[in-house]
Chain A
Amino acid sequence: MNFDFSLIISSIPQLLEGLGLTFQLWIFSGIFGLLLAIVLMLMRISGKWYLSAPAMVYIYIFRGTPILVQLFIIYHGLPQVEFIRESFLWVVLREPFGCGILALTLNTGAYVSEILRGGVKGVPKGLGEAGAALGLSKMHRFIYITTPLAVRLAIPAYSNDVISLMKSTALVSTITLLDMMGIARVIVSETYAPYEIFISLMIIYLVITWATQKAFALFERRMSRHIIQ
């Protein structure tokens, strides 16, 4: 066994070919997941049991099971169900890419909705009351007072979840997609040089994580620019 540095250099461009797919999965499921999370969060804080109870059950199920299981149920399991194959969903579920995005979206939506709820709950009550005293409607209070403050409170936790979503995209390599992880597994099976290939890939993922953290730190600073330290 010897450590081959030239293999690291030559494998990085190959691995980066999967970067596009990793980013597509990450960005699409990140956006859809955020939208789902907002809906779930609004259901949860609505105060109506017939809205909050389904949201709670959903969050409980998707946070309580491994994302790999969710991915396999969607990719391997759902095509078995007759009416899904005949519905419009089949367009998405026919491709592993659609299954990957669906699984990641459903999973991250559950986690992010809890983060957003934490942000909303963290906004001091007095501000809403002040808005009410000024005659703002409930909707206006939520949009102009609660939301900007809640966003700021939720950023640190949300950035962690965005990073864990990025890490979760690596799981699509188990459903035949060739993202960076999938390409790495193919190269390892050909060269049998796990250290070189996997360590190169670790470096790529670490750079993405680092850049994401920096970007969110900047965003947080921008959102906090009115606060006197």
Chain B
Amino acid sequence: MESLTGWWDDFFWGSLVVVQVFFVSLVLMVFFGLLGSAAKLSNSKALQKIANGYTIVFRGTPEILILLLFYFGSAITLTAIVNVFDPSIKFVDIDPFWAGSIAIGLIVGAYATETFRGAFLGVDPGQIEASRALGISNFNTFVYIRIPAMWRLALPPFGNHMLSLIKDTALISVIGLQETMFVAEQATANTGEPFVMYLAVGIIYLSFSTIITLTVMGYEKYGNKHLEVGK
């Protein structure tokens, strides 16, 4: 344990990066998930096909492959674009933070698409009819009836998606983001104690997972407070 002395602050800043990636990719995941489920539930065949292609590709290939494709692909594309204006520039890349967050948001968004789709379909059509009978507008029906009812159904799998998100952040160290795995690598190079360092990373991630699990459990109780199961 004494080998961790001097590395506490590095691990702290690394954890902060993990939290940042988590929140950015969480927003993206919800965005892509809602967009994907809306496309799958729409009447347009073309939109359905695009959404199906999206979920098949992002759920069927390894996360690390998508991450590397995003990072190196965006770098080569950006370099080509920049070279049009200034041929002297040899290499441009986007920040691993953004490449990683977007890639993870897209990957878990594909899983969230299926969750949201199932949850929207699980809303009792009688509720929608009732709101229509009361003269509530389509938009208000969506915001005040569909979303709260769907949310209750989507929350348990959504919690699992958040756990996937936090665990996938560890992969971003592969493209050079300075989060906890990266810190552990540096600390190992300095101290020669990989076991302690990676164990520390494991404990950090375990505490994040615990926080997420407990938050989702509490929120589930809150979301079900009107129902019998919540009491």
| Interface residue ranges, A against B (CB under 8 Å) | 1, 61, 63-70, 72-73, 76-78, 80-81, 163, 167-171, 173-174, 181, 184-185, 188, 192, 194-195, 198-199, 201-202, 205-206, 209-210
Contact = CB atoms under 8 A, between A and B. Distances in A.
Interface in B10-39: none
Interface of B: 56-57, 59-66, 68-69, 72-73, 75-77, 79-80, 163, 167-171, 173-174, 181, 184, 188, 192-199, 201-202, 205-206, 209-210, 213
Q: Which of B56, B163, B198, B209 has the most CB of A within 10 A?
A: B198
28 contacts: A1-B76, A1-B77, A1-B80, A61-B206, A64-B206, A65-B205, A66-B167, A66-B171, A66-B205, A68-B171, A68-B173, A69-B170, A69-B198, A72-B181, A72-B198, A73-B199, A73-B202, A78-B195, A174-B174, A185-B68, A198-B72, A198-B73, A201-B61, A201-B65, A206-B57, A206-B61, A209-B59, A209-B60
Contacts of B56: 206
B65 A202 contact: yes
A81 to B, nearest CB: 6
B62 A181 contact: yes
A72 to B, nearest CB: 5
A199 to B, nearest CB: 7
The secondary structure that dominates the B interface is helix
The secondary structure that dominates the A interface is helix
Contacts of A195: 69, 73, 76
Given A77-B195, A185-B68, A206-B60, A65 B181 contact: no
B199 A210 contact: no
A77 B57 contact: no
